[in-house]
Structure formats: structure tokens, C-alpha cells
Amino acid sequence: MECKSLISVIIPCFNHERFIEETIRSVVQSTYSPLEIIVVNDGSTDRSEDIVKSLQNQFSNLKYICQKNAGPAAARNHGISESKGEYILPLDADDLISPNYIREAIDAIENQKTVKLVYCEAEFFGARSGKWKLPDFSRKLLARENMIFCSAIYRKSDWKLAGGYSNEMTWGWEDWEFWISLLKDGGEVVKLPDTGFYYRVTKGSRRKSTNKEAKRKTVELINSKHKDFLFKYLHGPLRNNRSWSVFINRLSAIFRKL
């Protein structure tokens, strides 16, 4: 019998009592095995803990960790550090995955050792529906915007080499910075053709709640951590008006020569 690699699904949870059970059950319905599910309670004040502990009576592969509120990046890092899987799938506590997503992703990443990350097509649900139209991956585009949602699959060893998620990014955007850390030195990225990820849209979704200050802090942090990567693809630093970064950097270079 073939011995398959363990995957750890890491679910940070902060006051998600309305959704956490549905999210966990979507993972339990996966056609891939073996897997472990680690819920990291990031200082919730609602009934999230009671719900997860109740589900532990049904699912022996469900683990529970509790920490003081520190943000999703720190919660993911905590869960990954406690995980036993060779592969990691981060999943927010209000999102869902399809039954086949993990199996198809593991097949893709194990068939090619040069592949570092696998994701898939995605759809919105909840307050909004329809396909999530994301641009194709390239490192040049990654230097100025993110096109990979948080629930992509990668090796735990690569998480460690990349230094994990930046705990200080409590304002959001931590996925983008982590993908840069993970991929800037090479490795292939595979996007599966099937829809395997479902992003719940609510009034409080973090993707819609980011603001100018969050963007400014993100640009500042990425510039400080990934200077060589940005100069390679943007010919200079990432600018607050990100889509204009290459133009501004080239124009600045011309003026410096005058």
C-alpha cells in the first residue's frame, strides 16, 4: 500500500463561531488522506472554542490550539510550528475547500519536485457570488501585486526556509509578503484548472477592509525585506501607486543621470 504524505490544514480562528464548523467539515470531506486539521484560536471571545472542542469528539484528526490575539500571521505560524505534516494548507475560518482540492494539489506538487506552490481556481460565495478572476502568476507581477489567495499548498520545509509569515503584519496583506519570501529565489507555481477554493464575502471580510495606511505599511515592509527582488523586476522600490512602480523607477533613473 502506498504511503501518502501527511498534510496539515491550519485554520486561524478569531470570533468565527458562525462559520468555523462549516469550514472544518469542508476539510473533513476531503478525498485525500492522511490529513490533520489544526484550529488556532486567536483570542476569540465568542463560542468558537466550544464549537471546535465539540467537533473534536467527532474527528480524531482535529487539533485545537489557543493563544492570545496576535493576528492571522502569528496564528498561522503557531499552527504550522505545531504541525506534523510535510505539506501545509492555510485556510481562513470562514472559507471552504472542495473535496478534491487537496488530492489534486498533492499530486501536482509531488509529481514535480521543482514545484513550490499549488493553488486553483476560486469562487466567491456569501454576499457575493461568481468566479474570482485572478491574473496569471508571474514573479514580475508578484513584485507589485498578489494574485494567489491564502489557501495554497506548499511544503512545511519551504515555510521554514522562507522565515514564515511576518507576524507584524496584523493589518493584512501577509499572504502577499509570504509568497514573495517563498518564491523570490525560484520554484514553480501550479494553478489547478478546477475550482477548489471558496472565498466567503461578508461585510467584515479583510479583503475589503484594507485601507491606505495598511497599504502604506505593506509597501514599506516589502521594500525593507525584499529589496533585491524588487530591483530585479521593478528596477527600484515598490511605490505607493504600485502599478506605476516600474515607470517611476525608470524615470527616477533618468533624472539621476542628468
pLDDT in tens, 142-155: 999 999 999 999 99
* Structural domain includes residue 256: no
Report pLDDT digits (tens) over 85-97. 999 999 999 999 9
Domain count across the chain: 1
Count of C-beta atoms within a 10 Å radius of residue 94: 21
Cell of 23: 469550514
DSSP 2-69: --PPPEEEEEEESS-TTTHHHHHHHHHT-S--SEEEEEEEES--SSHHHHHHHHHTT-TTEEEEEE--
* Structural domain includes residue 97: yes
- Residue 199 DSSP SS3: strand
CA 8 – CA 157 distance, rounded (Å): 13
* Structural domain includes residue 244: no
CA 177 – CA 142 distance, rounded (Å): 9
Task: Supply the pLDDT for residue 1.
Answer: 41
DSSP 96-133: EE-TTHHHHHHHHHHH-TTEEEEEEEEEEEESS-EE--
* Structural domain includes residue 126: yes
**Rg, C-alpha atoms of the chain:** 19
* Structural domain includes residue 237: no
Q: For residue 170, what is the domain's CATH number?
A: 3.90.550.10
Task: Supply the pLDDT for residue 257.
Answer: 77
* Structural domain includes residue 27: yes
Supply φ then ψ for residue 203, to 5 degrees: -60, -25
CA 199 – CA 97 distance, rounded (Å): 9
Task: Supply the pLDDT for residue 209.
Answer: 46
* Structural domain includes residue 234: no
Which residue ranges of the chain lie beneath pLDDT 70? 1-3, 204-210, 258
CA 245 – CA 237 distance, rounded (Å): 7
CA 40 – CA 163 distance, rounded (Å): 19
Check: pTM over 0.85? Answer yes or no.
Answer: yes
CA 258 – CA 59 distance, rounded (Å): 68
Instruction: Please give the residue range of the domain that contains residue 85.
Output: 7-209
Number of H helices, E strands in the chain: 11, 9
Task: Supply the pLDDT for residue 258.
Answer: 67
- Residue 153 DSSP SS3: strand
* Structural domain includes residue 87: yes
